[in-house]
Amino acid sequence: MKQIILSFSLLFFVLIQGIYSQDIIPNMYIKTIDGKSINTKSTFNKKGLTVYSFWATWCVPCINELDDIHKEIKKWDEANVKIVAISTDDSRTKRRVRPMVNGKKWNFEILLDENQALKRSLNINAIPHTIVTNGTKIIYRRIGYKPGEENLLYEFILKNKK
């Protein structure tokens, strides 16, 4: 019985998430890992799709997803896709972001959503949360991560690339 209730609760959450989600990336300012303020419009891939991965240093599935994407980054570059990892770490944990990124040697754009304004504006309630855009238009969303889902995401990118 508990499992049935849990399953319906999860289904309800996913449906509500879809109903109240934005369909474009909002125009707002966010910080780079170096502390500079940039507009979200400057993060779009002008020549292809953009993958936004919302993550945090304390989120193991988030880190696993970014690690798995990083392992395949050359292949993803050939598909003309831009990866933007947006940390949702707050003031207590944001100091862990740079050491983690440097240690992992992730070579995609890292941004900081310190006050989680972008996360809230996109109605993101759970991480990891992956969004794919074509320009500013959101064409794909996924909540959570299991090993191998990066391959499904890559297949989606190939089918929808410009």
pLDDT in tens, 55-64: 999 999 999 9
In this structure, which amino acid lies at residue 144? Answer: G
> Which pLDDT score, from 0 to 100, does residue 151 have?
94
For the segment 20-45, the average pLDDT, to the nearest whole number, is 89
Tokens 């993101």 -> residue:
124
For the segment 99-127, the average pLDDT, to the nearest whole number, is 95
Other CB atoms within a 10 A radius of the CB of residue 48 amount to 15
Out of 3.40.50.10490, 3.40.47.10, 3.40.30.10, 3.40.50.620, the CATH code matching 23-160 is 3.40.30.10
pTM: 0.84
pLDDT for 53 beyond 80: yes
**What are the residue ranges spanned by the domains of the chain?**
23-160
Work out the pLDDT band at 20, boundaries 50, 70, 90: very low
pLDDT for 27 beyond 50: yes
Percent of the chain with pLDDT over 70: 86
Tokens 């998430």 -> residue:
17
pLDDT for 75 beyond 60: yes
Q: What is the CA radius of gyration of the chain?
A: 16
Q: Degrees (nearest 5) of the Cα angle 131, 132, 136? A: 105
Q: Interhelix angle for 60-71 vs 97-104, to 10°?
A: 30
CB burial of residue 47 (10 Å; 0-12, 13-18, 19+): exposed
Q: Pull the structure tokens for residue 122.
A: 């996109």
